[in-house]
Amino acid sequence: MKSISLYVEKDTFIHKLEPVTKLWYAFTSVLLTFILPSLWMGILFLLFSLLLSISGRVLKNMIAFISAVIVISLTMLVIQGMFYKDNSTIVFTFGSLKFYKEGLIHATLLIVRVLNMIISFGILILTTRPSDMVTNLVQKGLSPRIGYVLSSVLQIIPQMLSTASTIIDAQRARGLETEGSLVQKLRAFFALIGPLVLSSLVEARERAIAIEMRGFGISMRQTHVSVILEGKVDRVLKFVIKLVLLIALTWRVVSWII
Amino acid sequence: MAKSSKLTTMIIVLIPVAVGINYAGKFFAEALKLPLWLDSIGTVLAAMLAGPVVGGLSGAINNIIYGLTAGPISFIYALTSIGIGVAAGLLYRAKMFENAFRALISGLIIALVATAISVPLNVIFWEGQTGNVWGDALFAFLRSKNVGIWLASFFNELVVDLVDKVLTVFIAFGIFKALPKTLVYGFRSED
């Protein structure tokens, strides 16, 4: 069965880190580019995140994420370049359109922030097996029931999508009209999603009974089949990340008060 | 632990199915070449079946999983999904899904809620843009006429969201009406 995870199996330093460490890094680097509102700070973090994705050997996969925001980034440059509220210095004119320095710089800052967010979370997503992340979070105190929901979703989606293709084939074989006007298509949409919802809800009810039989609702301390170990490196890295975050937050608060 | 005791096993298995229905909705919409996303039908259904908390939870988990499997941008819009789920659950409790007309009104309300949550996110991350060509063209036009960024962004998002959300809610309503009652009552939380 095809998997929907984006995990890339490789053997690097980044892959071996504890998932929670990578989660901390992603959160911190996104937060810092917002609370330290300087373009150079953003570029620094962006370069650092890029460096990490190179050392995790996932740069190629990252390009797919980045290309998803290229169009909006370009239009942001155009719109901000022309209409930003503090625009005053003209950089160049294009026919009758004027582009201003302030707007272009502002748009660059926004783009850097978004790229940094995509890349730092991208590292987490591309170098961590989803099931490891769920196990790790449950070990750190996430409710095991929510943990079950998360890992169950990752298994159910490929199943439901393959049921969905079966339903499309079956309804087409019965002569379902899938071309034509919007109303016709919406009618077809009902004929496709209806059976899927019904069958998956019935299945869910059976699954509930099945996992109850295996002691899912039991209120005792549960143990884990696989345990994710926290290495020395993880401990040091998490400490450094939290320290940097704390310093940045204090600086921000202090500079607000003064 | 009053909060987690409400999460019965039936609800625990409902949430993954809700997320799966969201994915399937998007899949069918693409297969039929519909110019819509229709990717929150499951969230709305879960909210109707099991209440606002479960609706919100389904929305949040939907975007977390979507972020993990399609690209991190959708993490941001988890807030919008939570809003859709909670709003749908509350509207159901307020008997706003009794008939087709009320469902239509509910659809409009949910579209407004989704827009109201998305706009600040769009302003923070994209300075008001949505990435949709038509919406952004309108946005640029309004900005060039000196319309404020919040208002311009609001119309931008509304153009993108309104039809999609109203239809999403309407489809969820249609499916819900057709579900056998024995199935529906099984998912009710015990409050």
pLDDT score at A87: 85
**Any residues with CB less than 8 A from the CB of A32 and at least 6 apart, and which?**
A41, A45, A244, A245, A248
Quote the number of domains for chain B. Answer: 1
Residues A32 and A119 in one domain: yes
The set of long-range contacts for A128-134, using a CB threshold of 8 Å and a minimum separation of 24, is A128/A7, A128/A15, A128/A19, A128/A22, A129/A5, A129/A7, A130/A5, A130/A7, A130/A154, A130/B68, A132/A19, A132/A228, A133/A19, A133/A23
Domain-embedded: residue B21: yes
Task: Quickly list H helices, B72-147.
Answer: 78-93, 100-126, 133-144
Out of A29-38, A186-195, B25-34, least confident range: A29-38
- Check pLDDT > 50 for residue B140: yes
- Report CB contact under 8 Å: A113, B125: yes
Q: Do A233 and A116 fall into the same domain?
A: yes
Neighbouring CB atoms inside 10 A of B113's CB total 19
For the segment B167-173, the average pLDDT, to the nearest whole number, is: 95
Q: Which residue of A has its CA nearest to B9?
A: A208
A209 found inside a domain = yes
Q: What are phi and psi of B34, to 5 degrees?
A: -80, 140
Residue A221, in any domain of the structure: no
**Shortest CB distance from B28 goes to which of A113, A125, A164?**
A164
Which pLDDT score, from 0 to 100, does residue A169 have? 94
- Evaluate if residue A183 carries a pLDDT over 60: yes
Distance CA A120, CA A48 (A): 9
**A82 domain-assigned:** yes
Using CA coordinates, name the residue in chain A closest to B187.
A205
User: Does the beta-carbon distance from A118 to B73 stay under 8 Å?
Assistant: yes
pLDDT at A221 over 80: no
CATH number at residue B16: 1.10.1760
Same-domain check for residues A205 and A91:
no
Calculate the average pLDDT of chain A. 89
What is the pLDDT at residue A2?
Answer: 56
Residue contact A200–B4, C-beta within 8 A: no
Q: Are residues A17 and A123 in the same domain?
A: yes
Q: What pLDDT does residue B4 have?
A: 43
Domain that holds residue A65: 13-128+229-257
Q: Does the beta-carbon distance from A189 to B178 stay under 8 Å?
A: no
B159: number of Cβ within 10 Å: 18
Are A164 and B10 an interchain contact pair (Cβ–Cβ within 8 Å)? no
C-alpha A61/C-alpha B71 separation (Å) is 11
pLDDT in tens, A127-180: 998 889 999 999 898 888 899 999 899 889 999 999 999 999 999 999 998 888
Q: A256 to chain B, minimum CA–CA distance in Å?
A: 20
Residue B3 pLDDT level (bands cut at 50, 70, 90) = very low
**B104: domain range?**
11-124+163-186
Render pLDDT for A136-147 as a digit per residue (tens, 0 to 9): 999 898 888 899
Question: Are both A100 and A206 inside the same structural domain?
Answer: no
**Between A and B, how many CB-CB pairs are < 8 A?**
175
**pLDDT tens column, B90-101:** 999 999 999 999
Q: Which helix (H) or strand (E) holds A94?
A: strand A90-94
Residue among A68, A73, A65, A72 nearest A49 (CA): A65
In the prediction, which pLDDT does A1 show?
A: 45
pLDDT: which is higher, B49 or B68: B49
Residue among A121, A129, A117, A95 nearest A6 (CA): A129
At A72 the pLDDT is 86
User: Does B160 score more than 70 pLDDT?
Assistant: yes
CB–CB of A160 and B25 under 8 A? Answer: no
Q: Is residue A1 part of a domain?
A: no
Average pLDDT over residues A210-227: 83
Please give the span between the terminal C-alpha atoms of chain B, in angstroms, as a whole number.
15
Mean pLDDT of B80-97: 96
Q: Which among A113, A118, A211 is the nearest to B9, CB-wise?
A: A211
Is residue B59 situated within a structural domain?
yes
For residue B17, give the amino acid letter: V
Single pTM value for the model: 0.89
Instruction: Calculate what percentage of chain A has a pLDDT beyond 90.
Output: 50
Question: In terms of pLDDT, which residue wins out, B127 or B49?
Answer: B49
Contacts of A53 in chain B (CB under 8 A): none
Helix (H, G, I), strand (E, B) or coil at A199: helix
- Examine residue A134 and state whether it is found in any structural domain, yes or no: no
- Residues 6+ positions from B2 with CB-CB distance below 8 Å: none
Q: Does A124 reside within a domain?
A: yes
> Does residue A65 sit in the same domain as residue A119?
yes
Say whether both A36 and A101 belong to one domain.
yes
**pLDDT greater at residue B72 or residue A213:** A213
Judgement on whether residues A188 and A252 belong to the same structural domain of the protein: no
Higher pLDDT, A68 or B23: B23
Direct distance between the N- and C-terminal alpha carbons of chain A, in angstroms, rounded to an integer: 59
Inter-chain contact B20–A125, Cβ cutoff 8 Å? no
Q: In terms of domains, do A105 and A59 share one?
A: yes
Is A3 a member of any domain? Answer: no
The answer on pLDDT for B167 being more than 80 is: yes
Specify whether A62 is located in the same domain as A182: no
Residues A121 and A27 in one domain: yes
| pLDDT score recorded for residue A185 | 92
Q: What is the pLDDT of residue A205?
A: 93
Q: pLDDT grade, residue A3 (50/70/90)?
A: low
Are A23 and A106 in a shared domain? yes
| Number of structural domains in chain A | 2
